[in-house]
Structure 1
Amino acid sequence: MASERGTLHATDDGRVAIRFVRLFAHPPEKVWRALTDPAQLAAWFPAIVDLSTPAGKELFFGVTERQRATYGMADDPERTPNGRMLRNEPPHLLEYEWMGEILSWELTGTADGCRLVFTNVLSDREVAGPAAAGWEAGLEVVSAQLDGVPVTWDPFVRAEELAREY
């Protein structure tokens, strides 16, 4: 499976940002659904969350069944918010904070479909490699979903393979 590496950049405030750029032969509206629809998110996103929330509202990122089974993780029974929607401008800009990280998804229509720029701003540079590997594996699933290709690989295993390369 081919991969498209994310790039690492320092931010002005001393943090680091992982950035991915993808071109899809699909309109922004279809890509937006792949990034926000709970059924599609379940195949690749590392949490359960309602991303239809308006800007300024708190978010709760829950633990997935895979995380429970594989890592023994558990949800906060109080469902204390652990994020906030910063911008939600369908189908072009989605930006939210999750446990101190900022995730930004920018979609721009092109003549052939859509350009996605995804940026994850992290406070801890040490987690940049594993985080980039996870996002790259997730974006591979998004691409397959958009193209109607069955996902025959395990995104968790794929992220572990990619982590060695980062």
Structure 2
Amino acid sequence: MKPHSDTLTTADGRTALRMERRLTHPPAKVWSAITDPAHIGQWFPSGVTEVTAPRVLAYRWHPEGTVRWELGQGTGHGPRLI
């Protein structure tokens, strides 16, 4: 299985980039990296629009988009980051 997969789609005049990564870190460490304000504030402007801990986190992307992180079921070596 590939360590990553990217797809670009367009629907209703909006483009979406879906990036999937196979990670080796434990799910708790990955979730902390994308949800802990001490980590997020260093790399991403926040504006949280959706949280379903410890699985989904979405942010506003200025001016009208969204960035959505999802931890999916992995293959035994860690979660998929979608």
Tell me the TM-score range normalised by the shorter chain: 0.7 to 0.9
With the length of structure 1 as denominator, give the TM-score of the two structures: 0.41
With the length of structure 2 as denominator, give the TM-score of the two structures: 0.74
Structure 2, gaps ≥5 residues long: none
CA contact (8 A) 1:7 1:19 kept: yes
CA contact (8 A) 2:35 2:57 kept: no
Structure with the larger strand share: 2
Please tell me the root mean square deviation across aligned C-alpha atoms, in Å: 2.1
Distance 1:34 1:102, change over 3 A: same
Give every structure 1 segment of 4 or more consecutive aligned residues whose post-TM-superposition deviation is greater than 6 Å. Answer: none
Distance 1:23 1:5, change over 3 A: closer
Q: Shift in Å at residue 97 of structure 1?
A: 3.0
Whichever residue aligns with residue 112 of structure 1, its letter is: H
Q: Shift in Å at residue 32 of structure 1?
A: 0.9
Matched, 1:23 2:1: no
Larger Rg: 1
User: In structure 2, what is the equivalent of residue 107 of structure 1?
Assistant: 71
SS at match of 1:35: helix
Structure with the larger helix share: 1
Matched, 1:35 2:34: yes
Match of residue 92, structure 1, among 45, 55, 58: 55
Q: How does 1:147-158 map to 2 (within 5 A)?
A: none
